[in-house]
Amino acid sequence: MYCRFCGKEVKEKSIVCSGCGRPVDDPSNLTKTPIMGWTWGLLFALIFVSVFFPPIGLIFGIKGLFSEATKVKASVLLTVAVFTTLLWAALILGL
């Protein structure tokens, strides 16, 4: 059996690929590890913090883009963080 993401050969009873670390889609393997994403509460907390301190939102937003489980919520957070960064820059510079 081969990994559908990286093409490396994996053993029949493997849960994740040893090449790329992604879950192996084997229907006979019923014990898959669930992919955990951000909860809505965490997302709202990060948005609230990034309104007052935008670098936090920028950091978590960029970091979240690299995970399939958090990609959509990270995009929202990154959008809010960029907007608040521009807003704070305009307020500080007096534009």
Amino acid at site 30: L
pLDDT single digits (tens) 2-21: 777 777 788 877 888 888 88
Instruction: Tell me how far apart the alpha carbons of residues 78 and 82 are, in angstroms, rounded to a whole number.
Output: 6
Domain ranges in the chain are 1-33, 40-93
Residue 70 has a CB neighbour count (10 Å cut-off) of 21
pLDDT digits (tens, 9 = 90+) for 22-78: 888 755 544 445 556 788 888 899 999 999 999 999 999 999 999 888 889 999 999
Please check whether residue 65 is in contact with residue 75, taking contact to mean a CB–CB distance below 8 angstroms. Answer: yes
pLDDT of amino acid 29? 45
User: Quick one: tokens of 81?
Assistant: 């963080």
Angle between helix 54-64 and 40-52 (nearest 10): 140
pLDDT reading at 86 higher than 90:
yes
Whether pTM > 0.75 for this model: the answer is: no
